[in-house]
Amino acid sequence: MLRCLERRNFPVSRLTLLASARSAGKKMMFRGEEVTIRELTPESFAGVEIALFSAGGGISRDFAPHAVRAGAVVVDNSSAFRMDAGVPLVVPEINPGDVAGHRGIIANPNCTTAISLMALYPLHRAFGVSRIFASSYQAVSGTGAQAIEELAAQTREWAGENRAWDAAKLGTAPHVYPHQIAFNAIPHVDSFQEDGYTKEEMKMENEGRKIMHHPGFRASVTCVRVPVFRAHSIAISAEFERPVSVAAAREVLAGAPGLDVIDDPAKREYPLALDIAGRDNCAVGRLRKDCALENGLAFWVVGDQLLKGAALNAVQIAELL
C-alpha cells in the first residue's frame, strides 16, 4: 500500500501507520522519511481522513466503527463488510459511482473476483453475461508471508535431497496448508461449506453480482492453490445473452481500462503469472469460442493479487474519495 501511494503520488499530508503492539515502535520508509508504527487503539484515528485497513476481518469489525466515528472513511481489504447492504463493494474500473453511496466504509473485493471481473465486466457490458464456469490457480502469497516461506522451504528441501521428479513428496509436515504445496495443486482455498463449495469459490458469484449490479449472475468456481509465489490466474468459460465472436471480444477487451490483451498462441504469447507479478494491469489471453456453451467464450486472465487484488485497488478507491 505504501509503495502504491508513493508511485501514484497520492496527496498524503500526514501518514499514520497502525499495527499490533508487537510491531509498535518499528519504522517504515515513506517518501524518503522514516515513519514510526503506532499501536492500534480505538483512539488512533483522530485527524485521519482515509483509513486503509488490511489486518483481517476481526480487526476490521472491531476498529472500523471507531475510525468512522472519528470522521475517517475506511477502505477495508477484508471480507468483513463486503456483502453488507450499506457498504459499497468497489472496483474503480467497474463501479466507481458506488463510492458516492458510502456511509463511512467501502469494501475491497476478493482478489480472485476483482481480477476475474477486470476481463469479465467489459464483456458483460457488451454481450450480457449470464453464467460462468471457472477454475482459479492462486498464488501462495495470497495466504501470507508464512505461506511464501513454506513453499520456499519445501522447494529447498526437495532440491537439497536431490530427489527424482517422481519422488517429490516430502517427509516434513506442512503447517500453513493442509497438504504439501511444493510441486502440488490443492483444490482447497478457504473453508468448505455444506454445499461442497468453499467460501472463496462462492465469493465470485456473490461479490460479482454486487459489483456488476447483476443479481442474476451465476458462477460455478473451483479455487486451487498452486506453487506460484505471486499473481493469480483464472480460466473462465462464460455464456452470454447475445452472440459473441472472438474478434468482437478482443476489440472490447482492448479498450478496457487496467487490462492488457496478450493473445497470440502461435507465438506462445499469453498471460503468465511470472510476467504479470508486480504489474498494475491485469492481462487476458487464450480467447476462443467456448465449444460447450451457447454464445460462449473461454479466456484466461491473470493479475497480481497483491496489487489489483488488494493494495492497488484500495489506493484507487482512496483516489476516488
Catalytic residue flag (residue 66): no
Q: Quote the CA–CA distance of 74 and 106 in Å, as a whole number.
A: 6
pLDDT value for 50: 98
Q: Which fold has domain 112-305?
A: Dihydrodipicolinate Reductase; domain 2 (3.30.360)
Mean pLDDT of the residues in the chain: 97
For residue range 161-181, list pLDDT tens digits in order. 877 778 899 988 999 999 999
Query: CATH 3.30.360.10: which residues of the chain?
Result: 112-305
Indicate if the pLDDT at residue 221 is higher than 80: yes
Q: Which triple of cell numbers denotes residue 272?
A: 503468465
Q: In this predicted structure, what is the pLDDT of residue 222?
A: 98
Name the CATH topology of 2-109+312-320: Rossmann fold (3.40.50)
The model's pLDDT over 6-23, given as tens digits with 9 standing for 90+, comes to: 999 999 999 999 999 999
104 has pLDDT over 90:
yes
Q: CA-CA distance, 217 to 131, in Å (whole number)?
A: 6
pLDDT confidence of residue 143:
95
Catalytic entry in 111, 124, 223, 282: 111
Q: What is the pLDDT of residue 164?
A: 79
Q: What is the mean predicted confidence (pLDDT) over 36-62? A: 97
pLDDT at 153 over 80: yes
The 8-class DSSP code of residue 40 comes to: -
Q: Known catalytic residue: 232?
A: yes
Per-residue pLDDT, 113: 98
pLDDT of res. 171? 86
Cell of 23: 510491531
Long-range contact pairs involving 218-221 (C-beta distance under 8 Å, separation at least 24): 218/130, 218/131, 218/132, 219/131, 219/132, 219/133, 219/134, 220/131, 220/132, 220/133, 220/134, 221/132, 221/133, 221/134, 221/135, 221/136, 221/197
Of 4, 124, 223, 232, catalytic? 232
What confidence score (pLDDT) does residue 236 get? Answer: 98
